[in-house]
């Protein structure tokens, strides 16, 4: 997975969400976060909870969609692959099937969207 650092920008008590501005500039919404604006935090994003799209998806329940570029693709020999995606100054890892890599035509340098399903505060 990925561990990213950022700063709490805002807290929405009505929805139980905190907006975290990552060091690389992107913003991520984190549910259930008992944090205060200005606080520095670390976020853990499991690679299995990151989907990859070649066009910006719409109509999803996932709160966080980051624009990025595929940096590396490492097949594991068991039908899965680990991708490293550069999202501004941050890097997100995704674990997807090798079939999805082929079907989407993923390759280093390709622009993608990292769809993050789960984020945990550390």
- Give yes or no for residue 33 having a pLDDT over 70: no
pTM as predicted: 0.92
C-alpha closest to that of 23 among 115, 69, 92, 73: 92
Answer left, alpha or beta for residue 105, where phi above 0 means left and psi between -120 and 50 means alpha.
left
Candidates 2.40.50.100, 1.20.210.10, 3.40.190.10, 1.20.272.10; CATH matching 2-121 = 2.40.50.100
User: pLDDT tens, 72-98?
Assistant: 999 988 999 999 999 999 999 999 999
Alpha-carbon gap, residue 59 to 55, rounded angstroms? 13
C-alpha closest to that of 79 among 93, 91, 95: 95
């Amino acid at each position: 997975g990925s561990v990213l650092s950022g700063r709490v920008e805002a807290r929405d008590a009505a929805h139980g969400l905190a907006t975290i501005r990552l060091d690389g500039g992107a913003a991520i919404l984190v549910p259930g976060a008992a944090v205060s604006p200005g606080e520095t935090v670390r976020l853990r994003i499991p690679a299995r909870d990151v989907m990859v799209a070649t066009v910006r998806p719409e109509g999803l329940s996932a709160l966080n969609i980051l624009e990025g570029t595929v940096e590396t693709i490492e097949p594991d020999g068991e039908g899965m692959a680990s991708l490293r995606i550069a999202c501004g100054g941050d890097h997100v890892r995704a674990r997807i099937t090798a079939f999805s890599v082929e079907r989407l035509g993923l390759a280093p340098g390709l622009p993608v969207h990292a769809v993050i399903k789960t984020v945990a505060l550390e």
